[in-house]
Amino acid sequence: MKISIRLVVSLIITVAAVVVSFSFYSVIREKERLVNDLERRTVVLAESLKETSAPLVKANSAARLNRLVKIFGDRERLKGVAVFDARGGVISVTPSLAPAVSNQIPVVVDSLTDKTPSGELMRIDGKKVYVFSMPILSDDQPIGALALFQDASYIDARLAEIWRYNLIRFLALSVFIVAVTLIVVRWSVEGPIALVARWIRDVRTGKGKPHYPAGIPKGTMLEPLISEVTFMAKSLAMARARAEEEARLRFRAESLWTAQRLKEYMLRELGGKKLFLVSNREPYMHTREGRAVKAIMPAGGLVTALDPVMRICDGVWIASGSGEADRETVDADDKLRVPPEEPAYTLKRVWLTKEEEDGYYYGFSNEGIWPLCHITHTRPTFRLEDWVKYQEVNEKFAEAVLKEIESEESPLVLIQDYHLALLPYLIKQKRPDAKVAIFWHIPWPNPEAYGICPWRQEILLGMLGADLIGFHIQIHCNNFLDTVDRFLESKIDWEQFMVVRGGHATLVRPYPISVAFENQRESAPRQDRREIRENIFKEMGFQAEFLGVGVDRIDYTKGIPERFRAIERFFEKYPQFIEKFTFVELGAPSRTHIKRYHDLISEVEELADRINWRFQAGSWKPIVFLKAQHSHRTIERFYMASDVCIVSSLHDGMNLVAKEFVAARDDGDGVLVLSQFAGASRELVDALIINPYDVEATADATYSALAMDRNDRADRMRRMRAVIRENNIYRWAGNLVTDLGRLRLSDNV
Ligand code: F6P
């Protein structure tokens, strides 16, 4: 209310100031106009009277002058006329004015002295009168003067009327402004503030949801405040959920890994040591959208898995800066704090030239090692110039890491993936006290398949610089040890799963990567599943009874064409699902400068078109291929709304889509169809496991998923959720960091 009073008072003062200035100006102008008009009329009258009176003055004819002044007395605004002699003495005057008109009226004397007409306003009997004196000359000498007395009181009346009118205008304006201000303040400020306050209280007390409150339109001045509070409320909800989870676990003495537990554990186990994480792909890249710069999280399991870990461990993530606006957002050290909305750790960007990116990333990493490690019948291509760039870029990363760990004693360095195979060796060579691990996110092939790489020994030597090498599953560890055994002089300890070479030991262990299961619920407040589904179909412009989803980077290892062919076969075998089931593929274009990837997009599009052409009816379509970098929020809506999620990788280290789908289904429903060639199939045994090359079996599995009994679905989902809940990303990080932290390097050398 105080604000309203202040607002109203300031508005009234402003209006008053404007009205007074305006009135003042009008009055001056009006007065000027009226006086000028009066003067003009008086001069005309005086000129005509002078013609008559001048001979009478000259002739000193007082009687005739008296008659004249009597005739001109009291006519309309002319109050009277007087005739003066050359010294200003009254000769004759209109009788009604006689008592007030004396000798030596200053304006008359002035006109006689100057021999020019003169006029001024004066008061006679308390009334304003305009007196105009005109000298009567003979041989250029004044012989008398004629004075006209005009009533000027109407000027004051007119000016008073202006003031009065503007006062009324001011009062009316003030009442109007006060009323409008109070209504606007009530509707647009006090009302929404009261609503927001109620919403904040509900969220604080756990009665409300931390998402945009109903009843407050978007785009108002409260929106920034609401989005900040929403964010705070979400953090609060997450913290509350974590605390409840901790309490529950303490109560049940369970050993579930949570974000909080990992945080405490890191503090205890590592004495608060920072973590240095290195990967090719950065967790946040800055892109341009019109004039605005926007941070996006790139598609891919690596960043999805590791960002939650870094958020709680702090530390430095060193990665290549690949966003078009990346350079604008870093400081002089090429660093920035991320995530942008809640900074928790440091991202240091390494800059690569076009040639380096071409040879190291597209060439050696993704046309060489990627197909080498994935047995998907796409031939690896090895070029010497790519290998040279791969080595140079690994050295560039090594330089950046060494600079960061310069002042750290025995730092922990966690290297990610096949882009940086040489980095462990390059770091350990300079910093033997560093504890270095490399985690390989993709499969490791058998020695025969690996053996075709012209630089097979160099890559192994680079990796064996690490103290710890991690793969997702045991079979990849076995393949790796077999490979080392085949191509290097070394001692393999099959009991310890260790390679000893040149006095340095490297442990090789499986760490199945996962998702931050406990955060799923709070990260996006759940809408009703039916509502999400309805909205999705509304957006697609048709309806269907069943919905399926696939989420992938568009990569030939993901088995997308195989999946589409299985869906085609499904409609052939089970035509009762035509017009009832739609499969949505959320495909993120990836590595498109490589021809194989570029061609794959066309292949997938053509396949979807062909199948759609064959089965579509009315507006219904069997396959919807949505090609874009989809946000986590969009993907989660599809996870929630779908009856089935199909993961048909031809070969995959882990595949976090499978785990994300399960983690998202807190309604306990939904069926996962999962490739036996994805690492996730080792843990998610309650999925419908398929061989994606077997089109018939995949079509049948899709049918089984849609026809599955509700209880069976719920049982399977419950068991899969228990597995992921237990084996979440915090356990992965906890296990990896513990093993690395507890290594005694002195044993190695
Ligand atoms: O999971 C394997 C991986 O190469 C990750 O290292 C990477 O984050 C992801 O796939 C996406 O690939 P890219 O970084 O080439 O876009």
Q: Binning pLDDT at 50, 70 and 90, where does residue 206 land?
A: low
Ligand 1 atom closest to the Cα of residue 361 is 15
Ligand 1 touching residue 651 (CB < 6 A): no
Q: Length of the chain in residues, anyone?
A: 749
Question: Which amino acid residue places its CA nearest to atom 10 of ligand 1?
Answer: 300
Ligand 1 touching residue 442 (CB < 6 A): yes
| Pair 468, 739: CB distance under 8 Å | yes
pLDDT of residue 524 exceeding 50 = no
pLDDT of residue 412 exceeding 60 = yes
Ligand 1 atom closest to the Cα of residue 654 is 1
pLDDT of residue 749 exceeding 50 = no
Sign of CA dihedral 94, 98, 103, 107: negative
Rounded Cα gap, residues 659 and 654, in angstroms: 9
CA neighbor of 345 nearest in space, from 321, 319, 310: 310
Which residue spans of the chain are classified as CATH 3.30.450.20?
A: 32-157
Ligand 1 pocket test: which of 278, 282, 297, 302 has the largest number of ligand atoms within 8 Å of its C-beta? 302
Q: Binning pLDDT at 50, 70 and 90, where does residue 9 land?
A: confident
Q: 311-361, pLDDT tens digit by residue?
A: 988 899 999 999 999 999 999 999 999 999 899 999 999 999 999 999 999
Ligand 1 touching residue 590 (CB < 6 A): yes
Ligand 1 atom closest to the Cα of residue 280 is 14
Ligand 1 pocket test: which of 317, 414, 417 has the largest number of ligand atoms within 8 Å of its C-beta? 417
For the domain 259-510, what is the CATH superfamily, name and number? Answer: Glycogen Phosphorylase B; (3.40.50.2000)
**Which structure tokens are listed for 677?**
């060639």
Rounded Cα gap, residues 666 and 660, in angstroms: 11
Q: Give the SS3 label for residue 193.
A: helix
CA of 281 to the centre of ligand 1 (A): 7
Ligand 1 touching residue 591 (CB < 6 A): yes
Instruction: Tell me which of 468 and 212 has the higher pLDDT.
Output: 468
Question: Which amino acid residue places its CA nearest to atom 11 of ligand 1?
Answer: 300
Ligand 1 touching residue 315 (CB < 6 A): no
Q: Give the SS3 label for residue 675.
A: strand
Ligand 1 touching residue 698 (CB < 6 A): no
CA of 418 to the centre of ligand 1 (A): 9
Rounded Cα gap, residues 693 and 377, in angstroms: 12
State mean pLDDT over 605-623: 98
Amino acid, res. 657: V
Burial (0-12, 13-18, 19+ Cβ within 10 Å), 500: middle
* Most distant CA pair in the chain, distance: 152
Q: Which pLDDT does position 424 carry in this prediction?
A: 98
Q: Binning pLDDT at 50, 70 and 90, where does residue 519 land?
A: very low
Question: With the CA atoms of 658, 664, 665 and 671 taken in that order, what torsion angle do they form, in degrees rounded to the nearest 10?
Answer: -20
Angle between helices 259-270 and 729-742 (to 10 degrees): 10
Neighbours of 288 (CB within 10 A): 12
pLDDT of residue 531 exceeding 90 = yes
Ligand 1 atom closest to the Cα of residue 653 is 1
32-157: in CATH 3.40.50.1100: no
Q: Binning pLDDT at 50, 70 and 90, where does residue 199 land?
A: confident
Which residue spans of the chain are classified as CATH 3.40.50.2000?
A: 259-510, 522-727
Ligand 1 atom closest to the Cα of residue 419 is 6
Question: By percentage, how much of the chain surpasses pLDDT 90?
Answer: 64
Instruction: Tell me which of 240 and 187 has the higher pLDDT.
Output: 187
State mean pLDDT over 719-747: 89
CA of 370 to the centre of ligand 1 (A): 10
Q: Which pLDDT does position 127 carry in this prediction?
A: 86
Ligand 1 atom closest to the Cα of residue 279 is 6
Burial 388-401 (b: 16+ CB within 10 A, else e): ebbbbbbebbbebb
CA of 285 to the centre of ligand 1 (A): 14
Ligand 1 touching residue 587 (CB < 6 A): no
Q: Which pLDDT does position 272 carry in this prediction?
A: 73
Q: Which pLDDT does position 523 carry in this prediction?
A: 45
pLDDT of residue 746 exceeding 70 = no
Ligand 1 atom closest to the Cα of residue 281 is 14
Q: Which pLDDT does position 620 carry in this prediction?
A: 98
pLDDT of residue 213 exceeding 80 = no
Ligand 1 touching residue 302 (CB < 6 A): yes
Rounded Cα gap, residues 689 and 278, in angstroms: 34
Q: Binning pLDDT at 50, 70 and 90, where does residue 7 land?
A: confident
pLDDT of residue 120 exceeding 50 = yes
Question: For the whole model, what pTM was predicted?
Answer: 0.70
| Pair 641, 547: CB distance under 8 Å | yes
CA of 467 to the centre of ligand 1 (A): 23
Q: Which residue has the tokens 């405040």?
A: 225
Q: Which of 194-208, 274-288, 299-313, 502-516 has the lowest mean pLDDT?
A: 194-208
Pairing status of strand 127-138 against strand 118-124: antiparallel
Q: Give the SS3 label for residue 665.
A: coil
Amino acid, res. 460: L
Ligand 1 touching residue 307 (CB < 6 A): no
Contacts 24+ apart (CB under 8 A), 723-727: 723/683, 723/684, 724/514, 724/515, 724/517, 724/659, 724/662, 724/663, 724/683, 724/684, 725/256, 725/517, 725/518, 726/256, 727/512, 727/514, 727/683
State mean pLDDT over 592-597: 97
**Which structure tokens are listed for 77?**
């605004």
pLDDT of residue 502 exceeding 70 = yes
Ligand 1 atom closest to the Cα of residue 591 is 15
Backbone angles phi, psi at 61, to 5 degrees: -95, 85
Rounded Cα gap, residues 297 and 57, in angstroms: 108
> Is the backbone of residue 61 left (phi > 0), alpha (psi -120 to 50) or beta?
beta
Q: Binning pLDDT at 50, 70 and 90, where does residue 520 land?
A: very low
Question: Which amino acid residue places its CA nearest to atom 2 of ligand 1?
Answer: 441
| Pair 401, 276: CB distance under 8 Å | yes
How wide is the angle at C-alpha 656 spanned by C-alphas 336 and 273, nearest 5°? 40
CATH class label, 522-727: alpha beta
CA neighbor of 100 nearest in space, from 79, 72, 69, 71: 79
Ligand 1 touching residue 301 (CB < 6 A): yes
> Of all helices (H) and strands (E), which one includes residue 430?
helix 423-430
How wide is the angle at C-alpha 69 spanned by C-alphas 63 and 71, nearest 5°? 105
Angle between helices 656-664 and 301-313 (to 10 degrees): 70
Ligand 1 atom closest to the Cα of residue 301 is 1
Question: Which amino acid residue places its CA nearest to atom 15 of ligand 1?
Answer: 591
How distant, in Å, are the alpha carbons of 282, 415, 440, 529 from that of 302?
9, 11, 10, 28
State mean pLDDT over 180-188: 83
The 3-class secondary structure across 473-521, one letter per residue, is: CHHHHHHHHHHHHHHCCCEEECCCCEEEECCEEEEEEECCCCCCHHHHH
Instruction: Looking at 185-222, list the stretches that DSSP marks H as alpha helix, in order from N- to C-terminal side.
Output: 191-204
Ligand 1 touching residue 304 (CB < 6 A): no
